Structure 1
Amino acid sequence: MTNSPETSAPFAPGSVAQAGPLLDSLERTLQDEYSVVRLPDDLAALDPTDAAKVRAVVTSGRNGVPSELMAALPNLEIVTNFGVGYDTTDVAQAVARGIRVTHTPDVLTDCVADTALGLMLDVFRRFGASERFLRDGAWESGGFPLTRRFSGSTVGVLGLGRIGQAIARRAAAFDTSILYTTRRPVEGVPWEHVASAVDLARRSDVLVIAVPGGAATENLVDAEVIDALGPDGFLVNIARGSVVDEDALIAALEDGRIAGAGLDVFAHEPHVPARLIRDDVTLLPHVGSGTHETRLDMRDLTLANLRAHLDGQPLPTPVPEMSAL
């Protein structure tokens, strides 16, 4: 078990480490306040003496603190994650060792939900494709093909946490019918609960994925779910690329078994399979929370978690698995 924050000594130089790139202003603040050290990308290059000094790691959802790195840091007390997703961090090992893990929920909910709405509108109305049509000079030869109406459609939301509910509220403003699937019905929401992802897809014009990443949801949206959407159904993913069987999605698109997709996340980011670069797919480079305002809010919350641990105060936003610590 690591030291509790109540008994921890002040952070000495080398106590705070950075894993992977972070927002520039966050990196500067960490350097100014803690003389942060950068952990090497190659674990073999990590000096054991330096590793033993590390008590806190600041990282992002893309890099995290995976099993091998965590095991190499014997005195680690806290992982502060810049991002709401933390599936790249070995939370099970952290719980076993008494290492605290935090993330930055809530502050990015609105921007991610806005992105989901934008993707839904684009896959139905094909605004991006029609703009490329105009820019390429094709309008001179005829009009752009007709598209689909989004208003009045049925939107299925897979996962109804903070972000899922924000997506549903936005979509409902377009007079859509909202369905959702979770393990158990969510109390206090006006939308219909559907028992399974397959049934949700079958009843939806667009399936929006808003579940956390990690082993529990890997390939949750598999070939059966994708096929249930049918040739008129769309798939939108603003969650994690690991949630979707990417090969099954590509096959369904190529065979015309679904109408299209809007994707902000991918299985092996930043790699995007060439077969996904199609006119019926809207592709974004994981920009769901990518606004100046949200990034600054995420920075401030990351720092607040780190400072709270150092000061022996309750953590503002520990990950749910930390409730037992």
Structure 2
Amino acid sequence: MSQKKPVVVVTRKLPDIIETRMMELFDTRLNHDDKPMSQIELIEAVQTADVLVPTVTDKIDLGVLSQANPNLKLIASFGTGVDHIDLATARGRGITVTNTPGVLTEDTADMTMALIMAVPRRLTEGERVMRAGNWQGWSPTGMLGHRIWGKRLGIIGMGRIGQAVARRAKAFGLSIHYHNRNKLPNYIEDELEATYWESLDQMLARMDIISINCPHTPGTFHLLNSRRLKLMPKHAYVVNTSRGEVVDENALTRMLRNGDLAGAGLDVFEHEPAVNPKLLELDNVILLPHMGSATIEGRIDMGEKVLINIKTFIDGHTPPDRVVQAML
């Protein structure tokens, strides 16, 4: 007799090839219209699922998990960050949590480097001038930006993505600096020609560009608060492709409006999908809709990791991407 397939509830639309494979392997409930689930819908999902496949925008908190049926034993999250999941409650209920690390490193680093180049060189400003029909022809002083070659880049969070950003930035002639919970091994520092700053405050005061590449945890919430942002030179730029909550968005907006910072490139926001309306008024800011990891290759790789994590767990083994609290 064939073994009963586990009920897998997927909260958002995934690439077709991944959804098809899920349908083949499991008793799968898909979200065809891709509408984000409300808390009530998430509660209904955990009341029926053996496995929940949420995304980083689904808040799997105590209110949801406290309603879960006893058969829910795995949350196989589609994404790297796990700050949307109440890990302590999941652990207390005997629910294993997995994520999809590593596969988005190059995509996110590409987008970070694109913003590092685009903000100082005023790319989107120039594009808006063209579309508005306001270009009067080349001028010696027209659309002047800043050279990035020779500038100092300070990377906050030197994990996989931070190191991938450093490799790209080094090739563009930037001087690499970083702040991290731990100093990197000497051989990695030598390869990247990277300078470690134990003090974030000291680093911020000396950099031309800051790239935020650390995860959002309780310890990194508003890591760049008003006090720290004020340490940065007025000519400096902030690039964030990590999590919006790492930056005090209101403080950043005020400084950009007042000319206390030169500009910013933001792919993430503190209260997504809401964006501070005053940010939308600023020409010295590039705003992107959280698309740093948005490649079809990356999304399929993420889906394949989810499939492997579920299949491994169901077969009675420890899934390869199990999230352990101590790792965060």
Q: TM-score w.r.t. structure 2 length?
A: 0.88
Superposition pairs for residues 267-306 of structure 1, below 5 Å?
Answer: 267-277=270-280, 278-306=282-310
Task: Say if 1:157 and 1:178, in contact at 8 Å, map to a contact too.
Answer: yes
Residue 70 of structure 1 is matched in structure 2 by 65
2:21 matched residue in structure 1: 29
Structure 2: give runs of 5+ residues left out of the alignment.
none
Please report how far the alpha carbon of residue 294 of structure 1 lies from its aligned counterpart in structure 2 after TM superposition.
0.8
SS of the counterpart of 1:179? strand
In the alignment, is residue 175 of structure 1 matched against residue 173 of structure 2?
A: yes
Structure-1 residue corresponding to 2:50: 55
Check whether the contact 2:207–2:233 (CA below 8 A) recurs between aligned residues: no
Residue-by-residue CA offset, 1:273-305 (whole Å, 9 max, x unaligned) = 221122100111111110111111111111111
Give the fraction of aligned pairs with identical amino acids, expressed as a percent. Answer: 35
Deviation at 1:311, TM superposition (A): 1.1
| Superposition deviation, residue 167 in structure 1 | 0.7
AA of the residue aligned to 2:54: T
Which of 154, 157, 160 is the matching residue for 1:159?
157
Is 1:82 matched up with 2:74? no
Q: Which amino acid aligns with 1:317?
A: D
> What is the CA deviation profile of residues 151-178 of structure 1, one whole-angstrom value per residue up to 9, with x for unaligned ones?
1100000001111111111111112111
Residue 112 of structure 1, aligned match among 97, 100, 108: 108
Mapped to 2, the partners of 1:197 and 1:160 lie a distance apart of 13
Quick one: structure 1 residues 177 and 46, their matched pair in 2 at CA, closer, same or farther if it must change by over 3 Å? closer
Q: Which residue of 2 aligns with 1:193?
A: 196
**3-state DSSP of counterpart to 2:126:** helix
1:95-106 matched pairs, under 5 angstroms: 95-106=91-102
Deviation at 1:44, TM superposition (A): 4.4
Q: Which moved more, 1:63-72 or 1:302-311?
A: 63-72
Alignment of 1:200-219 (within 5 A): 200-219=203-222
SS of 2:184's equivalent in the other structure is coil
Amino acid corresponding to residue 206 of structure 2 in structure 1: R
Which of residues 221, 233, 241 in structure 1 aligns to 2:244? 241
Shift in Å at residue 136 of structure 1? Answer: 2.1
Q: Say how many residue pairs are matched.
A: 313
Deviates further, 194-203 or 39-48:
39-48
The TM-score, its normalising length taken from structure 1, stands at 0.89
Whichever residue aligns with residue 215 of structure 2, its letter is P
Displacement of 1:248 in angstroms is: 0.4
Where does 1:132-143 land on structure 2 (aligned, <5 Å)?
132-140=128-136, 143=139
Structure 1 residues 168 and 253: CA distance shift in structure 2, 3 A: same
Match of 2:8 among 16, 19, 42: 16
Deviations, residues 86-142 of structure 1 (Å, cap 9, x unaligned): 110111212233321111111100000000000000111111211222232222166
Q: 5+ residue gaps in structure 1?
A: 1-8
Task: Check conservation: 1:20, 1:63, Cα contact below 8 A.
Answer: no
